[in-house]
Structure 1
Amino acid sequence: MKIAVVGSTNMDLVYRVPHIVKSGETLHSTEHQLFFGGKGANQAVTAGQLGADVHFIGNVGEDNFGEQIKENMQSKGVNVQAIQQIGSTGQAIIQLANSGENAIVLFPGANFLVTPKQINEHKKKIETSKVLLLQLEIPVQVVELAANIAAKKDISIILNPAPAQTIGDTLLSKVSVLTPNETELEVLTGIKAATEGELVQACTILLKKGVKAVVVTLGDKGAFYMSDNGHGYVTVNKVEVKDTTGAGDAFNGALAVAQCYEMSLKESIEYASKVSEYVVTQMGAQPEIPKSFQMNRQ
């Protein structure tokens, strides 16, 4: 059940707005809150709360936000020994509309100061893991190095290709499960996948590059998955949405836990979807997750 997460940490500054601001528009926010965030930290905290032995490699700032982030992650089951404090803590400025939609501006801060040297110093945490969980809010060369270390030990690699950007074929060839949303899938393949046929076409491109499985998250429509063993949909239940900010990250963290248990791809997606469904009913990207979501498999 050991998961290594190499990724980002942020402090989220959330502003409640009637709708997402348009170009040239000024809106009054009706509410302002601070939440812990960062895709890497969100995923790590989800996995930690689901009972995994999670080790996080990344940076926070030399500031109060940095100290608060480390304390929070540790309290939610994440080993923080490999977190370095340098520069300013990353921040996410989030507009949260009454509809539940969000728009996010990122200040990377210390996240862009994660170095290959730091990864090499903590490579044992990767080499002794069952799953390596990666995203793209830190320098891509660091992501590539972590993937290389894991691939040499035949460790399962889950890559959440967010924020959307192109990825080299060398990195893709090492990925066990790639988890783009629809926007990220289009950036990776050039295909705007609105139909099942287009989803198959886009995923086929990625499988041919060496990705072993693709899971496309589709929001309230669930997820589409494809591997050499076939493809299909996993639907989700309708819930009262309060905040979608951490939905995808909760999905990835839970998916990593399911993969530790060697569940099938479809079973893993079903479990991850249930966790994600719960998270969107709560505020913030790192809400408390009830212990009832932990798996009791031996």
Structure 2
Amino acid sequence: MELVTARIAETKKTMLRKRLKRILKFKLLYILLLPAFGWVFIFDYLPLYGISIAFMDYNVIQGFSGSEWVGLKYFRLLFESEMFRNAFKNTLLISLYKMISGFLCPILLALALNEIQAAWFKKTLQTAVYLPRFVSWVVYGGIITLLLSPETGVINKIIEFFGGKSVYLLVEPAYFRTILVVTDAMKEMGWAAIIYIAAIAGLNPEVYEAATMDGATRFSRIFHITLPGITGTIIVIFILKVGYIMSAGLDQVINLYNPMVFEMGDILDTYIYRIGIEQFNLSLAAAADFIKGVIGLAMVLLANQIAKRINDSGIF
């Protein structure tokens, strides 16, 4: 037993020496990482102390040390609030719809772009679908408002051309969630497709050539070569997206919603903004944000475990 323990200790020492040698060998690269680590520590980890605001009756003047601890008071207030429950439900629904569309559309776009043979057309189309990503939601929201206008909007002009009646879509609660999902997919899918295009580019072209020589059709090559080849990338992206299940897009919603669609469009982000910034109830806003974070973390862990069981692939 003592011999086994000694061997384990010696193995650990050997591994430690190898790691130290590796660090010394690539010391310049590790030094380059220090600013990034510093940034993450200062702006991501230090602010975590602010979570304590959710458990105290926080007063800006008294600060953290002078404010009274109240336990789960604000969490109880949240779950008793009809407005919070409505925002929670809207967030889940909108985020779920966005996650499905935002997950599938980039994959389909990447597959379609990969099949285009004309290089000039492929590059032009790639640029066109990437551009919306670089436009802020303030500008993009204004464009959407103009497109959906009942008087000058292109969408309503098309509806009228086919004999329909113009509708102000942005003030109709029945259409608002659909508008959020569609416009978000249009804005983000081009940028999100870059990862899948890069993964497809890394596949062995000889496999495609062999499949073509064997008589495989284009769709057969997609389903039996391309998709299986990028399965790992798809799983990782899906797990990361699940982590944002409680983030339905503050910038988008706050630029598009209005009192007419408030009940269908109010989400946790707008609720936190309203409670924390406008009403300055920081403790209640922190409690709502804490719930968001906990659910997001739980969903990532759950999705990662499911992915590892199904395909033995995950992010950790």
TM range (shorter): under 0.3
- Structure with higher RCO (Cα < 8 A, 6+ apart): 2
Structure with greater proportional helix content: 2
TM-score scaled to structure 2, two decimals?
Answer: 0.24
Say which one has the larger Rg. 2
Structure with greater proportional strand content: 1
TM-score scaled to structure 1, two decimals?
Answer: 0.26
